Amino acid sequence: MLRNFQSSLEAGETFKRTFKVRLFDCDGLRVMTAWKYPAYMDFMRWELIARSKLYRAIVKRGLAPTLGSQKIIYRKPLKLWTKFDVVLKTAGWDDKWVYHIHKFEQDGEL
């Protein structure tokens, strides 16, 4: 499993991953479509689970993490073939939910 070759993360740790806007991420205007943002966000959440102690706890208990809700504010378009960073920060948790903040950054801008 790939998670065995990556450094581990703490459940509340902030981390960043760099991606590139690919051809099939875009619409006819050559900007990333709205439906791709949640896919990148989901990838980041699952990476956090896989690289932290949460993975063993979830598998051991037979749990299935699900997305409760999300709110996305679009500020600037991400254009075809440009690189961008997704930053995942854990804002907190309670008995039922974990709250994350995802930031899409490009050239130092949000």
What is this structure's pTM? 0.83
Helix (H) or strand (E) holding 6: none
Domain residue extents for the chain: 13-105
At 54 the pLDDT is 81
Better-scored residue on pLDDT, 68 or 36: 36
Long-range own/partner contacts, residues 5-8 (CB < 8 A, 24 or more apart): 6/51, 7/51, 8/51, 8/52, 8/53
The model's pLDDT over 7-62, given as tens digits with 9 standing for 90+, comes to: 777 777 788 999 999 999 999 999 999 999 999 999 998 888 888 888 888 888 88
Nearest of 12, 6, 16 to residue 98 by alpha carbon: 12
**pLDDT score, position 29:** 92
- What is the predicted pLDDT for the residue at 5? 62
- Cα 81 from Cα 59, distance rounded (Å): 37
CATH number attached to the domain at 13-105: 3.10.129.10
